[in-house]
Amino acid sequence: MTKTLRNDPDLWSPHFPWPAADTHKHARGRLVVISGDAWSTGAARLAARAGLRVGAGLVTVLSPTEALASHAPHLEAVMLRGFDEPGQLAQLADKADAAVIGPAAGVGEQTTLNLFALTATGVALVIDADALTSFQDDPDNLFSVLDRDDVLTPHPGEFERLFPGLLAKEGREGAARLAAERAGAVVILKGPRTVVAAPDGRIAVNANGSPWLATAGTGDVLAGFAAGLIAQGMASFEAACAAVWLHAQCAGNFGPGLISEDLPDLLPTVLNMLFVAKSGPRPG
C-alpha cells in the first residue's frame, strides 16, 4: 500500500505552474465556473475570483441567462457568459481547461444535466457542493463519467451521501483512498486534517488546517483554487494538495474574523512567500 504523504509545499512545489517571462494570459489556462440561479450567485463568484487569484489566465462565470443581471455589477476581470440549456453550456465550456460545478448550483436534474454536458467537452472538473448531492441517489452515475483529472471536494456529509458507510468503516484516510479508487477521480475529503486521495492510491494529509475556515463559502474558494491550478496545467492530485495547503495557510495567516471573501485576496502574500523560497530574494 502506498504510504501516506504529508501535504506541504515539498510535496507539490516542484510542479507549481509559475509563469515564465514570456507567458501570456492564454497560456495560463482557461477556467469556467458554473453559476446557480439568480438568487444563488455569490458562490460561483467566490470560486471564480479564487481561480483568478491563483493564476488562471482567463476566468469566466457561465450563468443561466436569468441570473446574468445578478452577476454583472460584481465582476471585473472575471468574464460573464449566459446559457439557457446544457447544449449551450457545453459550447461555452468547450475550450476551457478546467471547470467548477456545484457551488450553489442547485440540487437536482438541471445540475446533473449540466455536469454531463461538461463531461462531453473533456474539460477537467472540480465537483463541489450541490453537484455532489445531486447524485446521492445514484453515485455510480456520477462515477461513470469521471476520469483521473477530475476532483471531488466533499465535506464529511457529502462524502457519506456518495460513499455510504465508508467513512465509519475505514476512517478518513482509508475511506478517501477507497473513494478515489471507486470514483476514478481525485477526492478531497475536507476537515481539520483534510485528506487528498488519488485513484492510483496516493494519499496526502494536510497538517496546517485552520479553525477559521469554518465559515460559509470557504469551500467554494477551495474549489476555485484547485480548478485554477488545474487550468494552468498542474496535475490534479498535486493541484488539489496545493489548493488545500494554500487555502489553510491563508486562513491561518489571517486568524479570527475571517470570512470567505477574504481568502482570495490573502493568497498573494502566501504565493510570494513560495516564490521567494523558490527563486531567492528579489534584488533591491
Question: How much is the pLDDT for 29?
Answer: 97
Write the CA distances from 75 to 79, 187, 228, integer angstroms: 7, 30, 17
**Rounded CA gap, 99 and 115, in Å?**
10
Is the alpha carbon torsion for 96, 97, 101, 103 positive or negative? negative
- Whole-angstrom Cα distance, residue 51 to residue 60? 10
Question: Which pLDDT score, from 0 to 100, does residue 284 have?
Answer: 47
Q: What is the dihedral of CA 61, 238, 136, 62, to 10 degrees?
A: 10
234-273 b/e (C-beta count within 10 Å ≥ 16 → b): bbbbbbbbbbbbbbbbbbbebeeebebebbbebbeebbee
Q: Which CATH superfamily is domain 4-8+20-279 in?
A: Ribokinase (3.40.1190.20)
Query: What's the confidence (pLDDT) of residue 180?
Result: 98
Q: What is the pLDDT of residue 278?
A: 85
Q: What's residue 193's pLDDT? A: 96
Mark residue 188 as left, alpha or beta (left: phi above 0; alpha: psi -120 to 50; beta: remaining): beta
Concatenating the DSSP letter of every residue in 21-81 gives TT--GGGG-EEEEE---TTS-HHHHHHHHHHHHTT-SEEEEEEEGGGHHHHGGG-SSSEEE
Cross-sheet strand order for the sheet of 186-189: 4-7, 203-206, 195-197, 186-189, 151-152, 124-127, 98-101, 30-34, 58-64, 79-83
Q: pLDDT at position 282, please?
A: 58
SS3 151: strand
Q: What are the residue boundaries of the structural domains of the chain, listed by start? A: 4-8+20-279
Q: Could you read off the pLDDT tens digit of each residue along the chain, which spans 284 residues?
A: 578 999 999 999 999 999 999 999 999 999 999 999 999 999 999 999 999 999 999 999 999 999 999 999 999 999 999 999 999 999 999 999 999 999 999 999 999 999 999 999 999 999 999 999 999 999 999 999 999 999 999 999 999 999 999 999 999 999 999 999 999 999 999 999 999 999 999 999 999 999 999 999 999 999 999 999 999 999 999 999 999 999 999 999 999 999 999 999 999 999 999 999 988 765 44
Rounded to 5 degrees, φ, ψ at 182 are -65, -40
Query: Could you tell me the CA-to-CA distances from 55 to 67, 122, 165, 275 in Å, in that order?
Result: 26, 21, 38, 13
Q: What is the pLDDT of residues 223-281, one digit of tens each?
A: 999 999 999 999 999 999 999 999 999 999 999 999 999 999 999 999 999 999 988 76
